[in-house]
Amino acid sequence: MPKSVIIVGGSIAGLLHGVYLKRHGTDVTILEQDPHAIRSSHNAGICFGPSVQEFLRLYDDTGSQSCQPGVVIRLAYRQNLYWRETGIVRHLTSWGVLYRILRANFDGLPSEAVAAPPAARPGDGVCKYLSGKKVMSVHKTLDGVVVGFLGECGEEGSSAADLVIGADGLHSSIRTLVNAPMVKEYSGYVSWRGTVYESDVSPETARYFQDRAVLSFLKRTYIVCYIIPLDTGSFSPGTRLINWVWYCNLPDIPENNLTELLTDSNGHTHTNTVPSGLVRSEVWQAHLAHMLPLIPGPFAELFAKTDRPFVTMVNDALCSKATFLDGRVLLVGDALATFRPHFALATEQAARHCLGLGKVWRGEMALQQWEKEAVDHATEVWLRSRVMGVGLLRGWVEFLLLAWKYVVFLFARFKTGVWPRY
């Protein structure tokens, strides 16, 4: 195990790696650019995969409920609200709940979700979560790595460790600083998102969403809805939020004027997301007026009752390398690969990276092998998510082209015998 590690980015990937390393005796410092101690989720849901569950089973000492397990996926098609029950199940929660559970385990941060954080285990490393520190540089030294950062008031600082983990998301600075080879692209569609308290909708709508995650397929647009807990960690029926994501085409062509969409109510133009509460009312109302006549009842009610929607350009990014500076700098989570969110696999990917690195640190796997598996898995999910998104939102030509690329990728993998388990 490395003796000391600096993690850049204190969101889900950073905290998963932080808790893992701490539990194995490593001293960990997380540097997070956001200055707030307790952070709010975007009030949108996330999905748990097997690696996240395995991680929490091994390293979570809070005893808190982390997700709503085993929610069945229902499909709706146009006006047919009960088109198919799939039998596919998902474990669902909110970013805020998972973040609070991980913080309680990492540095004992109390919150409404985890009022009494657990004590450290014997042998745990020393942990620091430093908010308001934006990492600006990274250099290899004779016996480790040094990162330079700026504090909230622009003051400069630096910190040294054996290893640096870049867990700094889609717009990763570490990825840029190490010149990682990558592709990053706008998908040509956006996701509108929002939440409504289940107690604020009609009894019929509450019943429709109460125990199902629903995917509603419409003409070249689709909606995903499911229930999530509040950041306080309450999973009790009646107290929760119905969370919706609505994918809509918006190719980057002059007529669509993306700048207009991304300019908020204060006149500020965002690069990617116009946050909740800042979307200009006329933009949202114009979108609703255009689309609402096509939308089935329960979904239309959710949109009409959402006070503070937000909108994000759906981008993806893929790096073909995960280790840099002789293995002293690693990229994990969304910094390595950001997927279009159709399969909701971002958190699962972050936990996979962490459990895989555990094998490296225990001497069961070479770092190069970990990197190969991480990049291979990322490429597969990145391609698959593109096929799904394009199939549901764009034309046949684009879909067939991407589906063909995906088949070629799978065939090449099959031929080389590399067929990892997901």
Ligand X SMILES: Cc1cc2nc3c(=O)[nH]c(=O)nc-3n(C[C@H](O)[C@H](O)[C@H](O)COP(=O)(O)OP(=O)(O)OC[C@H]3O[C@@H](n4cnc5c(N)ncnc54)[C@H](O)[C@@H]3O)c2cc1C
C-alpha distances (whole Å) from 79 to each of 64, 208, 244, 294 are 39, 14, 17, 9
Question: Is 188 near ligand X (CB under 6 A)?
Answer: no
Instruction: Compare residues 20 and 399 and give the one whose CB is closer to ligand X.
Output: 20
Q: Of these, 6, 19, 28, 31, which contacts ligand X (CB under 6 A)?
A: 31
Which candidate, 36, 31, 34, places its Cα nearest to that of 15?
31
Give the number of other CB atoms < 10 A from CB of residue 313. 20
Question: Is 145 near ligand X (CB under 6 A)?
Answer: no
Give me the helix-helix angle, 95-107 and 50-59, nearest 10°.
30
Q: Of these, 5, 6, 14, 319, which contacts ligand X (CB under 6 A)?
A: 14
Residue 312 tokens read as 């994000």
Instruction: Compare residues 370 and 399 and give the one whose CB is closer to ligand X.
Output: 370
Quote the CA–CA distance of 23 and 19 in Å, as a whole number: 6
Question: Is 168 near ligand X (CB under 6 A)?
Answer: yes
Question: Is 308 near ligand X (CB under 6 A)?
Answer: no
Nearest distance in Å: CB 349, ligand X? 7
Helices (runs of H) and strands (runs of E) counted in the chain: 11, 19
Give the binding range for ligand X (CB under 6 A) out of 50-58, 156-164, 165-173, 203-211.
165-173
Quote the CA–CA distance of 44 and 215 in Å, as a whole number: 15
Bridge partner list, 72: 89, 212
* Residues within window 69-128 making contact with ligand X, judged by CB under 6 A: 95
Strand runs labelled E in 308-404: 310-319, 323-324, 329-331, 337-338
Question: Is 347 near ligand X (CB under 6 A)?
Answer: yes
Give per-residue burial for 80-91: e unless 16+ CB within 10 Å, then b: ebeeeeeeeebb
* Residues within window 41-60 making contact with ligand X, judged by CB under 6 A: 41-42, 44, 46
Ranked by CB distance to ligand X, the top (closest) residue is 333
* Residues within window 125-144 making contact with ligand X, judged by CB under 6 A: 134-135
Nearest distance in Å: CB 168, ligand X? 4
Instruction: Compare residues 177 and 360 and give the one whose CB is closer to ligand X.
Output: 177
Question: Is 9 near ligand X (CB under 6 A)?
Answer: yes
Give the number of other CB atoms < 10 A from CB of residue 208. 23
Instruction: Compare residues 95 and 226 and give the one whose CB is closer to ligand X.
Output: 95
Nearest distance in Å: CB 254, ligand X? 30
* Phi, psi torsion values for 380, nearest 5 degrees: -65, -50
Question: Is 18 near ligand X (CB under 6 A)?
Answer: no
Number of residues written out for the chain: 422
SS3 state at 273: strand
Residues that bind ligand X (rule: CB under 6 A) add up to a total of 30
Question: Is 334 near ligand X (CB under 6 A)?
Answer: yes
- Which stretches of the chain bind ligand X, using CB under 6 A? 8-14, 31-34, 39, 41-42, 44, 46, 95, 134-135, 167-170, 173, 333-335, 346-347, 350
